């Protein structure tokens, strides 16, 4: 059971939360909904009583009377509810596109610092991307207009696997090449043991792992571990896969299944956004944060 | 020379007295207490500015400086204090109807009282009166005779007392329209949908906000129902008698819901007509629940076959009710499913 005093709850309401973002709801909208839900519930709790108004009245030439009465200027009906939407700072640590669903991290109040650290530490994210062979759309996603059709029955799973592993290898090789080190050298080894090699620029997407986990033609699902990716990049990967397999493909769904160590099981559905659930989720998230060491800024191996 | 200066300064004081009395209620009470003789410069010749002053001049204050918030006036104005006690949300008025704030500050509570009594006599709860003023503070600008005429018009049109009270509480702007306006608005609905008198009354009672709603938007929704969805004139009449609020919904959302119902779920026009309230359901909710039923292989919307699922029972009720009773599954499974959407 939650404490009924709003200021106590407000003081404990700082940290990181992990929520589930459905497709076709923007991150901005989610943030707005989260803020208004929290404020609404905070205002329904017992707020701070209005401050006292000290009135000094009477004739100044005679004796003045001092009286204390409730201050109307501090009444919630006049100055507005005690907790207002603009007072609550919320920021996200990973941006998901409009059509992407999955794990989303929000920093609330002091948690915005942690959200920033996670963003700047650039942990890997895992995506599950669904594609469909045989059709190309103008934006490479299912919402677009179909611009081309092709045959797909000749595409087999081994073709797909072969191409995907080649793609993964080329991405990893490229990272070492761009570092300027020979992959057979000691420096390359020392670079590799520091963890995944991250590009210096946070705008360059890099894939660390890609594999096909489901293949039921024409539909297939690909799982990707990557950093610095964005929605268009992921949809275009599916498009590229289709082309390289001598067919065509478009993306039908993108789901972020892991961000750093936060997975779908930690994610809170929008209908469960109540103060009690959010505070519980905050506890869980802070434990994961300490375990993973993401709560501190980290020096990562990167291109020099 | 000194005499002239003294005379001038006393004149100035009396001038500020007069102007500030217009501003604030509390100040006015004090000026009323003063006898007329004190207002006039008393024996300016006998007094020097250097002599100690015995009379009380604490009521001579400066104007309130321009403020960003009505709270600056809250401890001075009696009207605001009474409004707070009544439960009027002044913060809402300040944010949404900002031009009403100067109007409220100039009000005298004695005049407001008559309006409040009038509303309670009509049969509105005192809490609802506060809500009424919060939403439409300019209702206090209307004269009591006008309000009386507007109520009498409704009585003349054979609205019952309960429905009049309901109309005014549900639609705070109703009484701001003149009888001619309301008459043309009611006439519009009667003519467009070919309704009888009792039917018009039923709609006005069910959805009082619809009557004063923007008529262009209503016409647009009628177009959506008729041309884009393909309902006949008689069907539309049925729909608005059962669920008049449909005409106030946003046209794009309405069409999206209908398209999902008709094209994806596959309900016929006749089935939608049986429960038109389904059209007010959000597309997202419909999608989530229908897709879960598809996954559980329970999406059977034909009433003549076994395991029939009613669309209304599908969308109404909490998620736990839906998942156990309609989908014959558990909430945990439904939540897991929601995390794949």
Chain B CB within 8 Å of residue A70 CB: no
Chain B: residue whose CA lies nearest to A269? B339
Is residue A295 within 8 A of residue A289, CB to CB? The reply is yes
Cα B113 to chain centroid distance, Å, stands at 20
pLDDT tens string, chain B, 341 residues long: the values are: 444 544 544 444 443 333 343 444 444 444 444 444 444 444 555 677 788 777 777 777 777 777 888 888 888 888 999 999 999 999 999 999 889 988 998 888 888 999 999 999 999 999 999 999 999 999 999 999 999 999 999 999 999 999 999 999 999 999 999 999 999 999 999 999 999 999 999 999 999 999 999 999 999 999 999 999 999 999 999 999 999 999 999 999 999 999 999 999 989 999 999 999 999 999 999 999 999 999 998 888 888 888 888 888 888 889 899 999 888 889 999 999 999 88
The encoded tokens of residue A49 equal 């009583």
Q: How far is A76 from chain B (nearest CA, A)?
A: 8
With respect to residue A298, please indicate whether it lies within any of the assigned structural domains. no
Query: Is the bond into A218 cis (omega within 30 degrees of 0)?
Result: yes
DSSP per-residue letters across B235-275: HHHHHHHH-GGGGGS-HHHHHHHHHIIIIII---HHHHHH-
Same domain, A62 and A141: no
Same domain, A192 and A140: yes
A-facing residues of B in 57-76 (CB < 8 A) are: 58, 69-72, 74-75
Q: Which of A58, A72, A100, A102 to mutate to test the interface with B (most CBs of B within 10 A)?
A: A72
Q: What is the pLDDT of residue A1?
A: 61
Please judge whether B335 and A269 are an interchain contact, meaning their C-beta atoms are less than 8 angstroms apart: yes
Separation CA B133–CA B208 (nearest Å) = 17
Separation CA A89–CA A108 (nearest Å) = 6
Low-confidence ranges of chain A (pLDDT < 70): 1, 298-304
Q: How far is B184 from chain A (nearest CA, A)?
A: 37
Same domain, A102 and A158: no
Separation CA A89–CA A104 (nearest Å) = 16
DSSP per-residue letters across A249-291: EEEEEEEEEEETTEETTTPBPGGG--HHHHHHHHHHHHHHHHH
Cα A243 to chain centroid distance, Å, stands at 30
Separation CA A136–CA B132 (nearest Å) = 56
The boundaries of the domain holding residue A239 are 124-259
Q: What is the pLDDT of residue B46?
A: 64
Cα A202 to chain centroid distance, Å, stands at 16
Q: How far is B78 from chain A (nearest CA, A)?
A: 11
Q: What is the pLDDT of residue B15?
A: 39
The encoded tokens of residue B25 equal 């209620």
Q: What is the pLDDT of residue A303?
A: 43
Same domain, A151 and A202: yes
Is residue A284 within 8 A of residue A34, CB to CB? The reply is no
Separation CA A165–CA A1 (nearest Å) = 51
Please judge whether A60 and B58 are an interchain contact, meaning their C-beta atoms are less than 8 angstroms apart: yes
Chain A CB within 8 Å of residue B192 CB: no
Q: What is the pLDDT of residue A151?
A: 94
For residue B87, give the nearest of B128, B138, B142 by alpha carbon: B128
A157-214, pLDDT tens digit by residue? 999 999 999 999 998 888 888 878 888 888 888 888 887 888 877 888 989 999 999 9
Chain A CB within 8 Å of residue B50 CB: no
Task: Look at residue B84 and give its three-state secondary structure.
Answer: helix
Separation CA B339–CA A267 (nearest Å) = 8
Same domain, A146 and A255: yes
Q: Based on the structure, what is the number of domains in chain A?
A: 3
Same domain, A56 and A38: no
Please judge whether B339 and A77 are an interchain contact, meaning their C-beta atoms are less than 8 angstroms apart: no
Q: What is the pLDDT of residue B20?
A: 40
Same domain, A242 and A222: yes
Q: What is the pLDDT of residue B196?
A: 92
Please judge whether A59 and B56 are an interchain contact, meaning their C-beta atoms are less than 8 angstroms apart: yes
Q: What is the pLDDT of residue A82?
A: 93
The encoded tokens of residue B323 equal 């998942």
Candidate from B81, B88, B89 with C-beta closest to A72: B81
Q: How many CB atoms lie within 10 A of CB A237?
A: 25
Same domain, A25 and A131: no
Chain A CB within 8 Å of residue B1 CB: no
Same domain, A181 and A237: yes
Chain B: residue whose CA lies nearest to A100? B341
> Which residues in chain A have Cβ-Cβ distances shorter than 8 Å to B74?
71-73, 75, 78
Same domain, A243 and A231: yes
Q: How many CB atoms lie within 10 A of CB A297?
A: 12
Candidate from A53, A59, A79 with C-beta closest to B75: A53
Q: What is the pLDDT of residue B55?
A: 74
> Which residues are CB-contacts of A5 (< 8 A; sequence separation ≥ 6)?
A45, A46
With respect to residue A297, please indicate whether it lies within any of the assigned structural domains. no
With respect to residue A191, please indicate whether it lies within any of the assigned structural domains. yes
Q: How many CB atoms lie within 10 A of CB B223?
A: 12
Q: What is the pLDDT of residue B299?
A: 87
The full set of domain ranges for chain B reads 1-63, 213-280, 281-341
Q: Which of A78, A104, A267 to mutate to test the interface with B (most CBs of B within 10 A)?
A: A78
Same domain, A128 and A250: yes
> Which residues in chain B have Cβ-Cβ distances shorter than 8 Å to A269?
335, 338-339
The encoded tokens of residue B269 equal 């026009």
- Is the alpha carbon torsion for B140, B143, B144, B149 positive or negative? negative
Is residue B161 within 8 A of residue B123, CB to CB? The reply is yes
Same domain, A229 and A129: yes
With respect to residue A133, please indicate whether it lies within any of the assigned structural domains. yes
A-facing residues of B in 87-126 (CB < 8 A) are: 87-91, 95
Chain A CB within 8 Å of residue B318 CB: no
Separation CA B75–CA A78 (nearest Å) = 11
């Amino acid at each position: 059971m939650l404490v009924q005093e709003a200021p106590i709850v407000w003081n404990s309401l700082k940290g990181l939360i992990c929520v589930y973002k459905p497709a076709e709801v923007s991150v901005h909208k989610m943030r707005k909904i989260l803020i208004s839900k929290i404020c609404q519930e905070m205002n329904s709790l017992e707020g701070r009583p209005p401050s006292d108004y000290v009135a000094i009245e009477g004739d100044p030439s005679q004796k003045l009377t001092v009286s204390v009465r409730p201050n109307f200027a501090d009444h919630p009906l006049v100055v507005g509810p005690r907790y207002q939407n603009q007072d609550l700072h919320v920021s996200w640590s990973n941006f998901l596109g409009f059509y992407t669903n999955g794990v989303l991290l929000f920093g609330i109040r002091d948690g915005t610092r942690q959200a920033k650290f996670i963003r700047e530490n650039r942990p890997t994210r895992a995506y599950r991307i669904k594609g469909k062979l045989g059709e190309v759309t103008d934006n490479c996603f299912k919402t677009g207009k179909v611009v081309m059709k092709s045959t797909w029955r000749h595409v087999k799973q081994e073709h797909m696997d072969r191409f995907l592993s080649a793609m993964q290898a080329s991405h990893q090789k490229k990272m070492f090449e761009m570092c300027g080190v020979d992959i057979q050298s000691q420096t390359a080894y020392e670079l590799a043991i520091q963890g995944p090699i991250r590009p210096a620029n946070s705008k360059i997407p890099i894939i660390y792992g890609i594999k096909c986990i489901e293949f039921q033609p024409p539909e297939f699902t690909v799982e990707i571990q990557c950093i610095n990716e964005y929605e268009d990049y992921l949809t275009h990967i599916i498009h590229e896969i289709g082309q390289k397999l001598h067919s065509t493909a478009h993306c039908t769904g993108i789901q972020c299944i892991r961000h750093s160590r936060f997975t779908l099981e930690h994610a809170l559905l929008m209908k469960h956004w109540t103060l009690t659930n959010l505070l519980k989720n905050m506890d869980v998230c802070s434990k994961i944060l300490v375990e993973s060491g993401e709560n501190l800024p980290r020096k990562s191996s990167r291109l020099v | 020379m000194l005499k002239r200066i003294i005379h001038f300064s006393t004149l100035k004081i009396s001038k500020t007295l007069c102007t500030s009395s217009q501003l604030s209620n509390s100040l006015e009470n004090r000026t009323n207490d003063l006898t007329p003789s004190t207002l006039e410069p008393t024996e300016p010749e006998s007094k020097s500015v250097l002599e100690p002053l015995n009379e009380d001049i604490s009521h001579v204050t400066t104007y309130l400086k321009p403020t960003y918030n009505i709270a600056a006036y809250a401890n001075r104005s009696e009207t605001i204090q009474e409004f707070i006690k009544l439960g009027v949300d002044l913060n809402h008025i300040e944010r949404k109807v900002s031009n009403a704030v100067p109007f409220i500050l100039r009000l005298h509570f004695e005049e407001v009282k008559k309006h409040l009594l009038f509303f309670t006599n009509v049969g509105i709860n005192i809490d609802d009166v506060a809500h009424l003023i919060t939403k439409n503070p300019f209702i206090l600008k209307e004269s009591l005779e006008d309000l009386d005429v507007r109520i009498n018009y409704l009585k003349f049109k054979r609205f019952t007392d309960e429905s009049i009270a309901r109309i005014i509480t549900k639609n705070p702007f109703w009484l701001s329209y003149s009888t001619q306006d309301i008459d043309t608005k009611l006439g519009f609905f009667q003519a467009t949908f070919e309704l009888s008198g009792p039917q018009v009354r039923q709609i006005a009672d069910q959805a009082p906000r619809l009557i004063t709603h923007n008529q262009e938007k209503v016409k647009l929704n009628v177009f959506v129902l008729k041309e884009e969805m393909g309902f006949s004139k008689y069907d539309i009449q049925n729909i608005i008698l059962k669920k008049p609020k449909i005409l106030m919904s946003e046209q794009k959302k309405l069409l999206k819901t209908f398209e999902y119902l008709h094209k994806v779920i596959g309900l016929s026009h006749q089935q939608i007509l049986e429960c038109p309230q389904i059209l007010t359901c959000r597309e997202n909710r419909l999608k989530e629940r229908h897709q879960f039923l598809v996954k559980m292989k329970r999406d059977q919307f034909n009433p003549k076959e076994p395991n029939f699922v009613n669309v209304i029972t599908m969308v109404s009720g909490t998620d736990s009710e839906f998942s156990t009773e309609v989908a014959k599954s558990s909430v945990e499974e439904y939540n897991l499913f929601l995390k794949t959407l």
